[in-house]
Amino acid sequence: MASLSRVITAGVLVLSCALGGAATAASKPAAKAGPQAVIALVDTGINPYHEVFRDRSPLAQRYPGTYLPGYPKGAIALHITLDDKSYYDALRKDCRSVWSKVRPGQLYWFPGTKIVGAIAFGSQPAIDCNANEPGDTYVLSTGHGVMTASRAASNSYGACRECRLVSVQLPLSVSVGVGNEDGSADTVEGLRWTAANRSWIDVQSNSYGPLVPGWAPVSTGMATDDPSLTRAVEETAHEQLAFWAAGNGVAFREGVLGHPTLLAPHLGPSAIIVGGYDSGYVATWPGSMPNVSSDACSSWATDGPTTTASTPDTGSGTSAATPYVAGGAARIILEARRILGDTHTGYRGDVLASGRAGIVKSGPLADGKFTYAELKSVLFHTATARPVAEHDDGSVCDATFAPYNSTPVQWSQVPAAFQQYPLIGYGGVDTPARTLAFKVLRGTAAMPSRPQEDMIYAQDQQVRTHLYTVWSTGG
């Protein structure tokens, strides 16, 4: 979650022709495009005008179904202005021809970018094309969702700079009260759409949650957890690698100490929970007992109505950490496909990559298959137990960032005897972790042994499995 919690919602698909440009044929014969990986950001939408999502290769002009087997037919190309340095100038040029025609439940894509999918669920404001500064609308966002997408796959600082993106937009805010209970229903629909497209989407990232880590037997419009949301998170995470933000402080926010993630009913046994640290410093406010972590206090990211700006302190909270870890996982998947020569994305059963057995002599790819369980094992066991500052982490937070400031202790200074798991899980999914993961995939390094972390993880899973039977059924 970001330092100020935001709750959001998602959609479905239909039709086939282009808005704002010529129709794009979905019937072109698929051509070889090399291995790919796809990350879905379930969030507030995306800013497709920003340069961090630009792709100037010929591939970005092709219908995604020509190189992503399993991609749905009927997605609409949104041809937008990508050569204007002013966000609002470009938006005004495209407003009537493109944005006024975008509707929920329809899958879109953006030629000239790495955004191969964008879909909205729930109600969003209609765009005002007469305004000097038209606001956000269906699919389009200049806020939280842009930040998370840039952490996952920015061309300059994302964890997987080669990955393709899908934006699954949910409602932009939580509405509490009688008659406003549809928030969780829209969220459930978005989550289920994302998992239903597991044939081409590899990973989903979720940097939001109910307003408080509580539970209610009926929907409260995302103010608290409810059985339908709890079931949807668990069932979709069981089908597709799903990363979820641990939250920020007690009751998800405004707390110096991290709340136990067991208090969040939607974080069941299959969700991968992401915590945080601060540029290598120990932070105590992110949700405790995550599975893995990343930088969660001022990191490189972009948001706002801009086409070029990014800063080293835009990203914040476990909202920023979660897509970075999701991008790290997608990068491992991409590397496995490159080694095995696999040009498919998504899942075939529980297999994420496949090729000829014996390409590598040892390790998880020796049999020519890379499974969901093997990916989790590689991701966890190669995580850096004592992470240090990296470029992508951005600025170090200080006392002025209270209550989210970090301790003055660096993880590299913490004795090895101290068990890091309660604060950052197996550790940081960072550059050293990815480098080690690649060596494990190639069989040039053995899978690291992490017995203490494995024991804590197993115990935590037992508890979460038991609690899930309660939270998912209403008691």
DSSP element (H, E) containing 242: strand 241-245
Sign, CA dihedral 209-211-217-219, equals negative
Write out the residue range of the structural domain in which residue 413 sits: 1-25+33-475
pLDDT tens digit string along 276-334? 999 999 999 998 899 999 999 999 999 999 999 999 999 999 999 999 999 999 999 99
Sign, CA dihedral 112-102-209-199, equals negative
The model's pTM is 0.92
CA distance 420 to 276: 12
* C-alpha dist (Å) from residue 475 to 238, 360, 467, 471: 22, 49, 10, 6
pLDDT tens digit string along 156-204? 999 999 999 999 999 855 444 434 445 588 999 999 999 999 999 999 9
Q: CATH number of the domain that 270 lies in? A: 3.40.50.200
Is residue 253 very low, low, confident or very high in pLDDT (cuts 50, 70, 90)?
Answer: low
DSSP element (H, E) containing 381: helix 372-381
Name residue 81's amino acid.
Answer: T
269-296: b (≥16 Cβ within 10 Å) or e: bbbbbbbbbbbbbbbebbbbbbbbbbbb
**203: closest CA among 246, 159, 146, 171?**
159
Please count the structural domains in the chain: 1
